[in-house]
Structure 1
C-alpha cells in the first residue's frame, strides 16, 4: 500500500500544484478536504480527472461512494485497488 499511497500523494501535489507540501506531510488517514489538506470542490474535480487519466477510474461526482473515497489517501488507495481488481 505504501507505494500506491505515495504515488497518490505525489499525484495530488503535482495536479494541484501544492508547492509547499511533500508526500511526508500528508498523513494517509488525514482528511483531504476541510480541516485536512483543505482541498475544495474544484480540487476534487481536478483529482477526479487525474485519477481517470492515470488509473482509468470513472467516478460519479454525485455518488456517496465517490465522496467516501475522497476522504483520505487511505480511501483513495482502496478505490484504486478495487478498480484494478475489477478491471
Structure 2
C-alpha cells in the first residue's frame, strides 16, 4: 500500500533539490536564464544547455558545496540532466 504522506514528502524534497540545482546552474555558470526555462530532463551538455567541461567542474563544486556530496570523474554520467543529478543527490545525501 502506498503511504501518501511519505510520497508527498519525497516529491517536495525532490522539487527543492531540483530548484537548488537550477539555481547553481544559473548563478555559478552565469547562464542568464530563468529557472522555468530549464527542463528537468533537458540535456545539460551538447544540444541541451551546451555546457562544457569547465562548466562541469563549476557545477561539481556547486553541488559539493550545497549538498555536501563529493563527485568524482566516475560520476560524469549523472551530469546528463537535472533529473539525474537530483536522483544522485537523493541517493547519496544523508541530510537533505
TM-score tier (shorter): 0.7 to 0.9
Alignment TM-score, normalising by the size of structure 2: 0.79
**What is the TM-score when the length of structure 1 is the normalising length?**
0.87
Is the CA contact 2:68–2:93 (under 8 Å) kept in the aligned structure 1? no
Structure-2 separation of matches of 1:53 and 1:7: 11
Cα separation, 1, equivalents of 2:85 and 2:24: 12
Structure 2 residue 77 is the aligned partner of structure 1 residue 68? yes
Residue among 86, 89, 94 paired with 1:77? 86
Aligned length: 82
Larger radius of gyration: 2
Aligned to 1:39: 51
Distance 1:8 1:23 in 2: 10
SS in structure 1 at match of 2:80:
coil
User: 1:9 is paired with a residue of what secondary structure?
Assistant: helix
